[in-house]
Structure 1
Amino acid sequence: ILISNNTQQTQEQQQQLPQDSLQSSLHQQEHVIASLQEQLQRQQQMLEALAVS
């Protein structure tokens, strides 16, 4: 019984790890997307300023 419990615990841990890494990578992607959106907004503002002048 002890052995089966141990294997169950390790399986649960293995399943948890990829979820954590996925969440962290998702957060990183969100940061990248946010910074890209800021850059796009700046470029749009620059283009609009150029178009006006």
Structure 2
Amino acid sequence: MAAVLLWSEHRAHFLGVLPFLFIFACPLLHIFGGHGSHGLHGGHRSDKKGERS
């Protein structure tokens, strides 16, 4: 019941802040390390040109 009342009374405030949450999500995740590591995706190449067996 509390969640329904909070949603109905504060929906405009929440929806007004929502775009900013998406904008700041990536930098915050990079700071706190939850976004993953970019550039460390080694071994994903399927073609190995120039290698001799």
User: What TM-score does the superposition give when structure 2 sets the normalisation length?
Assistant: 0.28
Q: Quick one: higher RCO (CA 8 Å, sep 6+), 1 or 2?
A: 2
Q: Which has the higher helix share?
A: 1
Q: Quick check: which has more Rg, 1 or 2?
A: 1
